[in-house]
Structure 1
Amino acid sequence: MVVFQKTLRNSISCTGVGLHGGNRINMKLIPAPVNSGIVFKRTDVDPDVAVIPAHYNAVSDLMMCTTVENDAGVKVATVEHLMAALSGCGIDNVVVELDGPEVPVMDGSAAPFVFLIECADMVEQDAPRRYIKVLKEVEVSEGAAKAALSPADNISVAFEIDFDNPRIGNQNCSFNLRNGTFKNELARARTFGFLGDFEQLKKLGLAKGGSLENAIVLSGSDILNEEGLRYDDEFVRHKALDAVGDLYLAGAPIIGEFYGFRSGHALNNKLLHTFLSDKDAWCYTTEAPVRIGNVGGANWPAKKAAAPVTD
């Protein structure tokens, strides 16, 4: 089965805070032509150096988030949640305009970005979608952590975490990303951290925009957010969401199964480099997975949604 590439039907804008810089960021998603992929464009720098490809080879910094950078040193940080939403919605081509060095963190999940994409609407384009098909298992590790891609007939993600903190502990999840699974099961999962870590990061000039409005914050085994968790296993689901976003930097959806154990942005990126450098491990195909579908079906609190402006 051949599936066609998709972009947005309309442009759409939102405003939010950068997680690490703490500054107000304006973002605009703009339809793009076939085979152009996902591209970031900084509107606050010289236009000659404003474009940054959303590609694993452009990743320059993996401390606390995924950052992409062009040859001129212009960066965009915290791209993983937006990339996950674009992947989950099946968007192949879009220009992401930003007037600052970060993607807005919004509520710490991918749900506001899914909402934006749905408000802008999606349109099929005049070219088949290209996939990367896993032909053999590839695994990377760093200490006890590991990440792997293995052959499968669909696009799936499995993740396991193991924290000493008793509120988190050992959690695992596994999802086939079809028929709205991303939106229903992963999109609303928020990033999380510990109160002591946030305080230390702010002393180092990081996480200036971090708050209870855009992250789950724990103090010991207590969750400080008044509304509690959105899922019982929200912690591991967010790690799976991050992996979906990091993997979409391959430049195409990957037909295969991802498995991560205590993996993070750095190991996810290392996996892409190892996997894509092995020409026997993958091939391009326009044959879509056995089962594929668009997002749909989930609900989330209106107060947490982005406020889009279409034009």
Structure 2
Amino acid sequence: MKNNYKVLQRTIAKPISFSGIGLHSGDLCNITLKPADPDTGIVFIRKDLENNNIIPADYRYIFKSNLCTTLKAYNSDAKVITVEHLLAAIKGNGIDNLKIELDSKEIPILDGSSKDFDIIIKNVSTVEQKNKYKKYLIIKNKVQVKNKNSTFEITPSNNFEINCTVNFPDPIGIQEVSLGKNLLDIYNNVKDAKTFCFYEDIETMKKNGLAKGGSLKNAIVIKDGKILNSNFKYKYDYFAKHKILDIIGDLSLMGLNIVGNLSVYYPGHELNRLGMQQIFSNYNNFSIYQYNKSKEFISQENILMA
């Protein structure tokens, strides 16, 4: 644990705004990303609400995690829906502190991946925050969670690596992807992979008031074993890569930089939530490290965040 962790925190260089419709609500949402002070983390601010409108990007604030990840404030009904692709882009660009102002409950889906969010962030660039260093989550013991047919397992490692296996009906089938040795490498390999669904699930979602903003422009749709998107260039690992993108976004809700080897089978948002809870359920599972410049050593902090 010597000088490998002497990496400064980052935020964006200046504010930037953009708009789009939500995948499930179909509502227009205007968003402004703003720089934030060191050690404040990622925070959503519902500007359309007058009171109790702040929602930290923290796994303890997860309200629902079935079709997407939804966060909810403790002290109000304020929610923010479908956060995972924006959070993946934030994490993939090394951002630790950021204010996300929005005037509706759902983050825009944009193209269905993190690509457009990535372009927006890179348009303003990121800056280092002096004398404040990143925090790292060091996995010390194997942590495993099973949920129906899905498995989440993370083990000690000197790097961050993800091994993902999915198993869906044709034309997807079984896909396996192993990526690492660092977050940037993993993110750059998966940021363009769009969300996907099966046509028969769309009717169910619409009956439940969801998928109002979905289209072939922001999702890959499969019907009768065929992909309906005419411009889609099939790759053997595309759908597994989208699941990794979701994992990056969801696990960013721990507010830390993971050092460990993650293996997932048939992952989803709920499995990711359960995995995070299990990591922090026992002090023996992890340590949190942050370099302390003033004392010229790396401080160790054990925090139980169950």
| Same structural fold, with TM-score higher than 0.5 when normalized by the shorter chain | yes
Runs of at least 5 residues in structure 2 that lack an aligned partner in the other structure: 292-306
Match of residue 66, structure 2, among 43, 63, 67: 63
Superposition map of 1:263-278 within 5 A:
263-278=267-282
Once the 2 structures are TM-superposed, how far is the Cα of residue 190 of structure 1 from its aligned partner?
Answer: 0.5
Task: Verify: 1:204 aligned to 2:208, yes or no.
Answer: yes
Measured on the aligned residues, the alpha-carbon RMSD in Å equals 1.3
**Residue 81 (structure 2) aligns with:** 77
Distance 1:34 1:257 in 2: 28
Residue pair 1:111, 1:183 contacting (<8 A) in 2 also: no
Match among 89, 94, 97 for residue 90 of structure 1: 94
Distance between the aligned counterparts of 2:234 and 2:98, measured in 1?
29
Counterpart position of 1:16: 20
**Alignment gaps of 5+ in structure 1:** 288-311
In structure 1, C-alpha distance between the alignment counterparts of 2:236 and 2:188, rounded to whole Å: 14
2:167 matched residue in structure 1 = 162
* Paired amino acid for 2:260: G
Match of 2:146 among 130, 137, 141: 141
Distance 1:209 1:244, change over 3 A: same
1:221 aligns with 2:216: no
d(CA) in 2 for partners of 1:208, 1:146? 31
Q: Distance in 1 between matches of 2:25 and 2:202?
A: 13
The CA deviation at 1:230 is 6.2
For normalisation by structure 1, the TM-score amounts to 0.89
- TM-superposed CA distance for 1:77, in Å, is 0.6
Residue identity in the other structure for 1:56 = Y
**Superposition deviation, residue 62 in structure 1:** 1.0
Q: Is the 8 A contact 2:91 2:252 kept in 1?
A: yes
1:179 Cα shift?
Answer: 7.9
Would you say 1:178 and 2:178 are equivalent positions? no
Residue 157 of structure 1 and its aligned partner are, at CA, apart by 1.4
For 1:218 and 1:248, the matched residues in 2 are separated by: 29
Give the number of the structure whose residues are more often strand, by fraction: 2
One-letter code aligned to 2:18: C
Aligned residue for 2:200, secondary structure, equals: helix
Q: Which position in structure 2 is the counterpart of 1:302?
A: none
Provide the secondary structure at the position in 2 that maps to 1:22. coil
Q: Distance in 1 between matches of 2:105 and 2:13?
A: 26
Measure, in 2, the Cα distance between the counterparts of 1:154 and 1:27. 34
**Paired amino acid for 2:30:** N
The structural deviation recorded for 1:180 is 4.2
**Percent identity between the aligned chains?**
37
Counterpart CA distance in 2 for 1:268 and 1:179 is 17
Deviations 1:42-84 (A, max 9, x none): 01111x3110000010001112000011021210010111111
Query: For the residues of structure 2 that align with 1:196 and 1:59, how far apart are their CA atoms?
Result: 27
Q: Distance in 2 between matches of 1:181 and 1:198?
A: 33
Cα drift, residue 233 of structure 1: 1.8
Higher relative contact order (CA 8 A, sep 6+): 1
**Would you say how many aligned residue pairs link Structure 1 and Structure 2?**
285
**SS of match in other structure, 1:286:** strand
Partner of 2:299: none
Q: Residue 286 of structure 1 aligns with which residue? A: 290
Is 1:34 the counterpart of 2:34 in the alignment? no
Q: Which moved more, 1:139-148 or 1:227-236?
A: 227-236
SS in structure 2 of the partner of residue 115 of structure 1: helix
Q: Which residue of 2 aligns with 1:187?
A: 191
Q: Quote the offset at 1:204 in angstroms.
A: 1.6
1:243 to 243, 247, 251: 247
- Secondary structure at the aligned position of 2:280 is classed as helix
User: Are 1:3 and 1:286, in contact at CA under 8 Å, matched by a contact in 2?
Assistant: no
Using the size of structure 2 for normalisation, the TM-score is 0.90
Q: Tell me how far apart the structure 2 counterparts of residues 8 and 42 of structure 1 sit (CA, whole Å).
A: 20
Q: Matched residues in 2 for 1:106 and 1:172: separation?
A: 27
Q: Cα deviation per residue 1:253-285 (whole Å; 9 max; x = unaligned)?
A: 111111110121011101101111211110111
Letter in 2 for 1:65: C
